[in-house]
Structure 1
Amino acid sequence: MKKIWSYLSIPAAALAVLTGSIAWVVLLRPFYYVQIGPLGVCQASGLTAAQARAAYSDVMDYCLGLRPDFAAGVLPFSAEGASHFADVRVLFILDLAVLAVTLLFLLGLWITCRRRYTALPRLGGRTPGFWAACGLCGIILIVAALAVTDFSRAFAIFHSVFFPGKENWLFDPATDPVILLLPEEFFRNCAIAIAASLLLLCLVLALTGRKQKK
């Protein structure tokens, strides 16, 4: 019976690491702010740095469910553009919800084990975290290989998977100048940050999970 909890903790740990690696990039707004200059956002959009930060904050407030209506600072937007951010909002909130649920589940298991002075049974001599890391690393390698060879293609595939049948993510700067605040290079940097976080956390889980209990 105890092994069931070990098996359940594998996908829980994997999801916690995955959603957590995404969440910090989404929540940490200075990650975008420090890129405004290097990415030439002000030159492309015609906004000041302060206006760009305000517009990005409005967009993220909406995508994180902190405001009911879409806004992008002083920038205008189309109904199609707003509808894409409504789709993004669903994914962001889902990511945070999955992170919260998996962390609560893992915390509950940890507290239970501490109170009973025991640990989850190992599987094949390794902890559930080790196997979660192995699974995630396989996915990371596949996605990274595609992204490194052709990020634009990987970007398009991502949208076709998570926004099937929709083309509202193909922005026209004339009607949705908000896209000028979010160049492809910014999303590439987000992907790099997420991948680096995943690899670091997977390395920690793998190294701690492979040690045999004495």
Structure 2
Amino acid sequence: MIRAVIKRIWLTLSALVGLVAGTVGLTLLGSFPLYWGEIHWLKLTEYGFTSGQLFGNYRQLMAYLNFPWVQPLRMRDFPTSVAGAQHFGDVKQLFLLAWLLLLLSLPGLVVFFRSEQWRRQVESLYYPAWVVALLPVVVGGLAALDFDQFFVTFHHLFFNNNNWLFDPQTDPVIMVLPEAFFAHCFILAFVCFEAMLVVTIIRGYRARQRLSR
């Protein structure tokens, strides 16, 4: 009995960690086509750069943030202050942590779902998935009401300094990374998170149906 409870808790935590890390990973990958669209939608070329230059600098920034061997941060057209470099370094640590958690949680989940017992065990994810699915809805609602305050609160939660308050004079890259872009990234993350939860809920529902026959 105790062993079954522990296994169920382990499965739920592994799924949740994998879900959050997977959401971060999908959002980071999805940010590339999103930013390309933002260059045109938000008219970022008005700052004196071509769309190719902007996207090239974004790729350089993302390469630094996502690959541990890319050091230091260099963007061809944008200088970076000491405070700005420190903030991007903090972001890099969070991104690398997300990728590490995804790598650690994904193999166990893949092996589990390919095993013969997955139908019985995945049932345990059915109700927790519904509970977890409601949390982003609440957070998303709060963000929609006042994204500026949500953005500030988010940074206070994840960073212990004010280096994220970029000065366009010393860190001009912030002009081509407007708040609207980050708002759209949060929307993308919300969609990815909820989509993966829907898949989990559907699989849990089907498992419950099979077991009840």
**Same amino acid, percent of matched pairs:** 29
Partner of 2:194: 199
Partner of 2:173: 178
Query: Which is richer in helix?
Result: 2
Q: 1:119 to 1:76 in 2, by over 3 A?
A: closer
Contact 2:64 2:72 (8 Å CA) reproduced = yes
Partner of 2:117: 118
Determine whether 1:5 maps to 2:7.
Answer: yes
TM-score by length of 2: 0.89
Partner of 2:23: 21
Runs of 4+ with >4 A deviation: none
1:134 to partner: Cα distance: 2.3
SS in 2 for 1:37: helix
1:46 to partner: Cα distance: 1.7
Among 53, 56, 69, the alignment partner of 2:55 is 53
Counterparts of 1:15-164 in structure 2 under 5 Å? Answer: 15-28=17-30, 29-43=32-46, 45-65=47-67, 66-111=69-114, 114=115, 117-119=116-118, 121-122=120-121, 127-164=123-160
1:132 to partner: Cα distance: 4.1
Contact 1:14 1:132 (8 Å CA) reproduced = no
Distance, in Å, in 2 between the alignment partners of 1:26 and 1:85 is 15
TM-score by length of 1: 0.88
Contact 2:166 2:174 (8 Å CA) reproduced = yes
- RMSD value over aligned CA atoms? 1.8
- 1:119-159 superposed Cα distances (whole Å, 9 cap, x missing partner): 3645xxx7233244224213212211210110110000000
Contact 2:27 2:192 (8 Å CA) reproduced = no
Instruction: Give unmatched runs, 5+ long, in structure 1.
Output: none
